[in-house]
Copies of this chain bind each other. A is one copy, B any other.
Amino acid sequence: MVSAWRGDTAMKEKKVGKQTYLFNQPLPILSTAGVVGKKEGEGPLGTYFDEVINDPLYGEKSWEMGESKMVQRAIDLALTKANTTYGNLDFMFGGDLLNQIIAASFAARHVPIPFFGLFGACSTFSEALALAGIALDGDFASQVLVTASSHYQTAERQFRYPTELGVQRKPTAHWTVTGAAAVIIGKGTSGVVLTGITVGQVIDMGIKDVNDMGSAMAPAAIDTIRQHFEDTGRGPEYYDVIITGDLGSFGKSLTANILAEAGYDIDKNYTDCGVLIFNPEQDTHVGGSGCACSAVVFANYFYPQLVQGVYRRILLVSTGALLSPTSYQQGESIPAIAHAVVIETL
């Protein structure tokens, strides 16, 4: 098995196996912040979030600009918590689900630092963490900002139907999480630290049902988790929790079952942010989804527990479905991707 923490050796090589990289430097997460919508505030994690914003417009003229303002709010909170300023930050890595990632780009107008716009659908949060780690560990940055957001109303009208239509939802459908998270990562010697990443490939198993994203994304999660274990020689027991982004209850079962068949029994310490964020009584079917799902659950639920020592090692695997309304209306299947990030307490 590869050593838990590469930093204690003086190896230059960061690549381990086929898709995994272990950082040479401790990259502490300096702060995390999350804001969510009303429904998320009413869910089982409601009391954990920094702020619950009951107005989906957040005082703006459109839901899209409301989402963008949530990103700004999360950034402000993260800056304050980390006791840092834009002057200390080298890059912002951000993205969201909207066409042309306008929630992130429009928020970045107010962020006077270099910006890398990303699109990984609901995997964007771990994609951004991975690139942040690469930039920090490669000595291109001393502090970086990561953001991700999504919004039920903006996503529904963009990907599905106007919410006013009241279209009936399939039992396998997700509910897009309204919210935004911001994370500031730096350099140091201890704390809750990014220690490695497994960067995902695009996986397309031919699934075409846009009302069953869990089945579309599960193969990508399975591929990345399996590859992470293979690359590192670790097994599920290495982690206190393995957390997928937004597979939902159905995609989560699929993932656990297929990984068990591959010899990795993750059931005992496996959960999914989409399953955690809503109660079954909230009529969200298989659970939450969207870039914000894994971002706010990590920022406000898992990160504090890492700080408190409840968990010492987690594997966060945000999952994304890389479709567009154009692609599915053209009858195309749904490519998916999952990136894994290792976060440990040093």
Contact = CB atoms under 8 A, between A and B. Distances in A.
Query: How many copies, total?
Result: 2
A10 to B, nearest CB: 13
A140 interface: yes
B99 A325 contact: yes
Contacts of A12: 139
Interface stretch (A39-47, A130-138, A287-295): A130-138
Nearest to A138: B138
Interface in A115-149: 115-121, 127, 130-131, 134-135, 137-141
Interface string A233-254: 0000000000000000000000
A94 to B, nearest CB: 10
| Most chain B beta-carbon neighbours within 10 Å: one of A100, A108, A112, A138 | A100
A328 to B, nearest CB: 10
A315 to B, nearest CB: 16
B140 A102 contact: no
A261 interface: no
B114 A200 contact: yes
Interface in A84-103: 90-91, 95, 98-102
B115 A201 contact: yes
7 contacts: A12-B139, A21-B140, A64-B330, A114-B199, A116-B199, A135-B138, A137-B140
